[in-house]
Amino acid sequence: MVSIKTKEEIEKINIAGSVVYGVLELMKTVVKPGISTNRLNQLADEYIRENNCTPSFLNYEGYPKSICISINDEVVHGIPGKRKIKKGDIVKIDVGACYKGYHADSARTYIVGQTNEEIRQFVNNTEKALYKGLSVIKEGIKLNEVSKAIESVAKENGYGVIRELTGHGIGTNVHEDPYIFNYENNESELTLKEGMTLAIEPMFSLKKRNIWMLEDGWTITTQDGSVAAHFEHTIVVTKEGYKILTGE
Ligand code: MF3
Ligand code: CO
């Protein structure tokens, strides 16, 4: 069942979302060569708590840290630890915050210093896929249209679409109905309605789409070692379109 949120509920998600936005802006300034992912986690955790929220991911199904940091061939759910950021790393940071019981979820991919043109384009295009997916959203459209729009960007460029991971509804739980696939599929027959709150999150690989899960039980990597990118916003469906809840 896909729930419709009230104005008050959407406001709480938006407050959580602006804290998530603040964390991702902060990360932009501190994701530099030499900093450990543990330290990034600590800075994010402090920021979230100082802003009257709690980190949504900590203890979520046993997840041990407050944010996810996934580097290069890691797609998502990387666990912060002693690893240090290096020049040229492609760093995905995924943040969730909870305000008065309501969650918001957003992620970005950061390029640390410089990388080659192919990877730069790849990261840019993954972000474009997020906005292309968002651009079709309004009350009355089929969810599959969002999936198709996201997938079209991967198809044009020959990227892999990770199939095992999806976007999702969000609210009093981090993950709620529906699943939002990043490729065309028949399960997305749902018609969007005003007040649905959704986390849209394209996850692409530069080459093949196949993934492994590491022995830590969380970290997802590409099988071929190719780099992955991930962008995510939490949004609310409106009559005319959508509103980003994890923006400024
Ligand atoms: N943003 C992540 C997702 O939608 C949630 C991570 S939960 C965690 O999949 F426990 F893995 F951190
Ligand atoms: Co998510």
In angstroms, rounded to a whole number, what is the distance separating the alpha carbons of residues 120 and 232?
18
Q: Which domain holds residue 236?
A: 7-244
| Structural domain total, the chain | 1
**Ligand 1 neighbour 110 (Cβ under 6 A):** no
CA 220 to chain centre: 14
Q: Is residue 132 part of a domain?
A: yes
What is the residue with the minimal CA distance to atom 7 of ligand 1?
57
**Ligand 1 neighbour 233 (Cβ under 6 A):** no
Cis peptide bond upstream of 80, omega within 30: no
In angstroms, rounded to a whole number, what is the distance separating the alpha carbons of residues 207 and 102?
36
| Identity of residue 97 | A
State which of 59, 60, 67, 68 you would mutate to test the pocket of ligand 1, scoring each by most atoms of that ligand within 8 A of its C-beta. Answer: 68
**Ligand 1 neighbour 209 (Cβ under 6 A):** no
Question: Any idea what the CATH number is for the domain that residue 24 is in?
Answer: 3.90.230.10
Q: What is the pTM of this model?
A: 0.98
> From the CA of 57, which ligand is nearest?
1
Phi, psi at residue 59, to the nearest 5°?
Answer: 70, 5
In angstroms, rounded to a whole number, what is the distance separating the alpha carbons of residues 78 and 217?
10
Q: Is residue 1 part of a domain?
A: no
- Between the two ends of the chain, the Cα-to-Cα distance in Å is 30
State which of 24, 67, 75, 76 you would mutate to test the pocket of ligand 1, scoring each by most atoms of that ligand within 8 A of its C-beta. Answer: 76
Tell me, what DSSP letter sits at residue 231?
Answer: -
Q: Would you write out the chain's pLDDT as a tens digit for each of its 248 residues?
A: 999 999 999 999 999 999 999 999 999 999 999 999 999 999 999 999 999 999 999 999 999 999 999 999 999 999 999 999 999 999 999 999 999 999 999 999 999 999 999 999 999 999 999 999 999 999 999 999 999 999 999 999 999 999 999 999 999 999 999 999 999 997 778 999 999 999 999 999 999 999 999 999 999 999 999 999 999 999 999 999 999 999 98
Ligand 1 atom closest to 77 (CA) = 11
In angstroms, rounded to a whole number, what is the distance separating the alpha carbons of residues 121 and 91?
15
